[in-house]
Structure 1
């Protein structure tokens, strides 16, 4: 998603609730069942994999970034962990029901393509 598209995407989720996370507070952990996706409203989030040495940071997300959607697309567990960093984050929380309503509004080809892409990402991580 381009930087220009991110604010537009988050503004379309009018029903989403805001949730604040303090620095270091976990949003979700790898292996958990996912019931929400998130859009960063402000602050920063780290996506990471726990290791024996600590954490392997996969990426840092800032305003407008969406994450956690994979578990809602393919109804599988979380592939990585997420926590607020660099002073914390305020997130828009998108419920499974809200996400599914948005997906149901897509044409069948687009829905199928999204599921195939999600499967490809998940299989690449194995």
Structure 2
């Protein structure tokens, strides 16, 4: 596993929103082994970048939880909350060991997105709309079969 600063971490380090002329540091949090960072189905406005430690993404009820993915340093999770406004989280996130994260708030993400190239903004918005529509499209497909040719993107 690489121990250099990843592009997301580097980008966050470059951004210090000013409040009253003084820099505001990016929030860092530490979780102990077994701490639930967020719960499946909850609404979120933050993503998390692991600086050190291990996090499991889990799905299913508390009695039959299944690990979907295990993440380590320089991995980001909860990012869907940044692009899908008010969508429920698809998994729970649980610290497996002592874990330090950088917290990425939706307002920071949106501000950085607005500062980006218009082409990139359009692609991210299209991606967000497609992700938002995916469950509805799957249900429609299951109910009636494939739709005729249309938006294949």
Q: Mind listing any 5+ residue stretches in structure 1 that lack a counterpart? A: none
In structure 1, the residue matched to 2:90 is 79
Q: Is the 8 A contact 2:81 2:106 kept in 1?
A: no
Structure 2: runs of 5+ lacking an equivalent: 14-24, 140-153
User: Matches of 1:121 and 1:101 in 2, distance apart?
Assistant: 21
Give the match's secondary structure for 1:23: coil
Residues 37-56 of structure 1 mapped to structure 2, 5 A cutoff: 37-51=47-61, 53-56=63-66
Q: Which has the higher contact order (CA 8 A, sep 6+)?
A: 1
- Are 1:61 and 2:71 matched, yes or no? yes
CA distance in 1, matches of 2:98, 2:129: 31
How far has the Cα of 1:100 moved from its partner?
1.1
Matched, 1:101 2:100: no
What TM-score does the superposition give when structure 1 sets the normalisation length? 0.81
CA contact (8 A) 1:37 1:68 kept: yes
* Secondary structure of residue in 2 paired with 1:58: strand
TM-score by length of 2: 0.69
1:98 counterpart SS class: helix
How far, CA to CA, are the matches of 1:21 and 1:46 in structure 2?
12
Higher strand share: 1
What is the number of equivalent residue pairs in this alignment?
123
Larger gyration radius, structure 1 or structure 2: 2
CA distance in 2, matches of 1:56, 1:74: 24
* RMSD between aligned residues: 2.5
Cα distance change on mapping 1:57 and 1:116 into 2, 3 Å: farther
